[in-house]
Structure 1
Amino acid sequence: MTSTIVWGTGNVGRAAIRAVAAHPGLELSAVLVHAPDKVGRDAGDLAGLESPLGVKATNDVEAALATRPGAVVYAASGDIRPDDALADICRAIRAGAVVVTPSLYALYDPVNAPPEVRDPVLAAIAEGGGSLFVSGVDPGWGNDVLPLLVSGLGSVVDAVRCQEIFDYATYDQEDSVRYLVGMGQPMEYDAPMLSPGVPTMVWGGQVRLMARALGLELDEIRETVLRRPLESTVGTKAMGEFEAGTQGAIRFELQGMVDGEAVIVVEHVTRIHASCAPDWPMPADGDGAHRVIIEGRPRIEVTVEATDEGGNRSAGGNATAVGRLVNAIEWLSEAEPGLYDALDVPIRPAVGRVGRKRP
């Protein structure tokens, strides 16, 4: 059994606790929290499970890492605190742990990551003997291993398109929804996530990773951004009202260009209500889906719809992304210490987990 810490208990951390608790090869040894009101609560309670897990949340990072855990699932956000997240992750690696996380966007593609991010990680690996694997929550497999797998089913491939299509009304992350992406803000609001260069900073690594796997030399990565206002005021259960005339939908693309053609595209279509921008791509039903489209001969389209936490698809997307990370721990524990990416880490069958009673 690999002793495993879950660091952070937000949307990703809740799913991580459940995934670790359900894995027969992992043992949940600690849960690290920041909020004082979470300290001392049982991990099962924090994860929304019906039964306690017997692990009390703590904010004592030093004591938790002093136990020399085999693995750490770092689920704390890196959106607005990338330097702190990097420091936390390096600290866990220096403690000898295998670390899996979605929080360091630059390391989706470590080969092309900036030295200021990659070098501290490599130094921590050399010092402590741990490892790191970073994959996204959008989810990472939807922008790397799945499209690469499906591309191998065609005879002619003209372009690879990865789509995330979601209604944010089901989210419980008001700061991210309202202020990072600008839902409910005036149309002239400069949303940080949509600022020029930011989408490439976050998702460009996935485009470059796929290009590397497909043997392509990209000329550049282009960004396109479209925004639509709400035609009427809408209400959400978790985040309140979003007023008519404010931003209600965004659609952006990262386009990996070769000879003037977009050959690898990562696209996000996000709404706060289904009534906004109905002419843009929509999920077949429900509040969201992930889709891979291989343009070529034959044309191939694969849609994945995952649900969790009472049928919520945003939670389902988080859970599958977390599953990719948590289920990689065993392979990483067997491998040499290092900095790994999605092309290195295989997806293994759910050996020992099929039909197993869930926590």
Structure 2
Amino acid sequence: MAKRANGEGTICKRKDGLWTAAITVGRDEKTGKLIRKYVYGKTKTEVQEKKTTLFEQSKGITFVDADKVTVEQWIKKWLETYARPKVRQNTYESYESVATRHVIPALGKNKLTKLQSNQIQTMINEIIAKHSPRLGQYSFAVLRMALRQALKEHLLLRDPTLAVSPPKKVKKEVRQLTVEEWNKLFTEAKKKSGMHLAILVEWATGMRREEILGLRWCDTNLDKKYLSICNVVIVTKAGPQFSIPKSKSGFRQITIPDFVANELKHHKTKQTAERLAAEEWHNHDLVFCRKNGLPLEPRDFSHRFSEIAKDAGVSSTFHDLRHDHATRLFAEGKHPKDVQDRLGHSSISMTLDTYTHHVPSRQTTIADWLQTTIPSAAKS
């Protein structure tokens, strides 16, 4: 009797009324046994269509190999082959860390094609219970990216993440600092070398930490009073490294007030003198740098700010200052599009969703305007 070719198989009706079909997609290299896949449906036509689709997807050795690939093996391949070439080094290291510490220990031994939604849900629930909803959400996001690439490669026939209920995003309350709190911060920052001006620039621009630390003198025009964002300093295992903004919207110009421009001019003069007097200087043209010209370590920078805030009695992180800048702009009635451009958000919906509901005075303004426009005939 002739051996069936891959894709051949019979369609039959089961006792429970369902139709089923199976096709052979290959042989196990070690045992020599046939590898068969099954499809089910309510009608013979439905099963025939599923069988044809399955046959097309099973063409090639990759589909056969998928039966042997574990979740751990695939995630590691995805990290190296797909993630590393497309994202910045710090983003790749973040993916790798969450995969190694959380996803692989929970799901890595499972066969890729056998991974179930309930297993993913259990992983997320445990991460939330042991750590935080944010980490659970991020772990799920990394796993989902890897699995969707497996779908594109036809290593999976279905997406097991579709039936999973990921944790809801927990928004951090955005609070605007008071004038008194800002004065306390600046007073305390003047005691810490190099921090006062960095905080002032943040107050005036709302730049990201990586953008502040990556700002170069060649990116400034202090006479026309604007800063160009085109270089950043990121955190990596090898130490701080230069990179570019993540998205196109990250490349932008930010105008600054006269006082900030003048303070930067004074800082540049002072830094030039320090550079000439230094025994060693690495000329990266950075506005904010170490005493030898090398970039500041972002985490150390944030830690120094935390100490200033603590000593000043102000509850704030450096990133909170970015939020403060945006809320101040909205409180003054600035157009959302202008705020979006200033912050470098990729979409205006991100800006609106994050900030506008924290400005209750907008509703008062609307009510006041309506009060002045009441049609005369409406009054009793």
The bucket for the TM-score relative to the shorter chain is: under 0.3
Q: What is the TM-score normalised by the length of structure 2?
A: 0.22
Greater helix proportion: 2
Q: What is the TM-score normalised by the length of structure 1?
A: 0.22
Higher alpha-carbon Rg: 2
